[in-house]
Homo-oligomer: A and B are copies of this chain.
Amino acid sequence: MVYTLMRNAEFNREKVLRSAMTAFMFKGYNKTSMQDLTKATGLHPGSIYCAFENKRGLLLAALEQYKQDRNIEFQNFFANEQPFFTELKNYLDNIVNECISCDSAQACLLIKALNELAEQDDEVQASISESLTNWQTALTEQFEQAKLSGELKTNRPSDHLARFFVMGIYGLRTFAQTHPHADVLHQLADQLYQDLCV
Contact = CB atoms under 8 A, between A and B. Distances in A.
A114 B177 contact: yes
Nearest to A161: B191
B167 A171 contact: yes
Contact of A115 (B129, B163, B174): B174
Chain A interface, >50% SS class: helix
Count of chain copies: 2
A187 interface: yes
Interface in A76-114: 104, 111-112, 114
B112 A179 contact: no
A7 interface: no
Interface residues of A, number: 41
A137 B179 CA distance: 16
A166 B167 CA distance: 12
Contact of A30 (B31, B104, B164, B170): B31
A126 to B, nearest CB: 9
Interface of A: 26-28, 30-31, 104, 111-112, 114-116, 118-120, 125, 128-129, 132-133, 160, 163-164, 166-175, 177-179, 184, 187-188, 191-192, 195
12 contacts: A114-B177, A118-B177, A164-B188, A164-B192, A166-B171, A167-B172, A167-B174, A168-B168, A169-B171, A170-B170, A170-B174, A195-B195
